[in-house]
Amino acid sequence: MTFVDCIASKLSKKPHLLIFLENVDKADPLVQHSLSYALRTGKFPDSRGREISTNNTIFVATSTITVGNINFLPEKESIRFSEEMILGAKSWEMQILVEHTAEATSKGSEMKVGISRDITSAVSNVNKRKLDATSDSMEQESSCESSKRAHKASRSNLDLNLPVEDTGERANYGDNDSDSISESSQAWLEDYSNQVDEKVVFKSFDFDSLAEKIVKEISKQFQMAFGYEILLEIDDEVMVQILAASWLSEKKRAMEDWIEEVVGRGFRKAKLKSQFSAQCVVKLVNCKGLVVKEQAPGIRLPSRINL
């Protein structure tokens, strides 16, 4: 069944309907034709030409590319943490690791914190049966929250991207969308946009700024436990997990409370457990394959950090 036939089938079964079309800028030509025809005539044609009335139907379509003088993309030239990354976050346990390095860190009054893509979890030999527990992952949890806001819609919504097999494999979503649309699709989208009843521009959520805030909060707790001489590295996947949980949480200051009560407590315990010098690097990593057993209050993050 084509996308057009899928939409037509829904319309024929439920005359009073709201249809959400994600990434309409990447609709195939048949979908484009049917949408434009429905705007002009109030009837939506399927792939065989059969027409279904849309008089009692509301279409809501989203696009992530420039339409006319309106830019739907973030103004920032580069994005470290995209919404696509956040939607793919996993709900893993976390661990504090301590490594000794030959290069001594220099003393100073600035906190030394880095976010690394290269840190690997020490828990690499987790029992295989635990890997099957990914049904508790943050990705599925975020899908449950998709109805909260339109811009948080998960991949379970009808996506007009073609081919269908590629819809879940777009790791560089934010970087490639604007380049992959054809000139004909661009022209169609501008014409379609000019005919719709209403346009709403959503400002993209700035996860990079939130990440900076998280780093500052973690730095405070790290400084109180270790001072300024020790280097802290935060795993990139840990940051994505924290960002996703903070984004989904409805509790005010949930992220700040978690960092203070859980991460701060973990740092203090790690400090008491080991001997540290300026040659040490403390790493906050995730335990891949080990799903969070107990969540902290008000936020989907572990209630304790493993040592």
Query: What is the pTM assigned to this prediction?
Result: 0.59
Where do the structural domains in the chain lie, given as residue ranges? 3-77+147-195, 84-141+206-291
In the prediction, which pLDDT does 213 show?
A: 92
In the prediction, which pLDDT does 116 show?
A: 57
Sorting pLDDT into bands at 50, 70 and 90, what band is 56?
A: confident
Q: Which pairing describes strands 92-100 and 280-291: parallel, antiparallel, or unpaired?
A: antiparallel
Span 81-96, average pLDDT: 88
Task: Give the DSSP letter of residue 29.
Answer: H
The CB density around residue 181, as the number of other CB atoms within 10 Å, is: 18
From residue 167, give the alpha-carbon distance in Å to each of 147, 241, 242, 257, 271.
20, 22, 25, 36, 45
Sorting pLDDT into bands at 50, 70 and 90, what band is 114?
A: low
In the prediction, which pLDDT does 8 show?
A: 86
pLDDT tens by residue, 271-286? 888 777 767 888 999 8
In the prediction, which pLDDT does 193 show?
A: 81
More confident residue, 54 or 70: 54
pLDDT tens by residue, 126-166? 333 333 433 344 444 444 344 344 344 333 343 434 433 44
Which two tokens mark 181?
A: 């649309």
Span 168-181, average pLDDT: 43
Report d(CA 255, CA 298) in Å as an integer: 9
The residues pairing with 93 across neighbouring beta strands, listed in sequence order, are: 287
Report d(CA 4, CA 163) in Å as an integer: 14
Contact 226, 267 (CB under 8 A): yes
Helix (H, G, I), strand (E, B) or coil at 282: strand
In the prediction, which pLDDT does 244 show?
A: 92
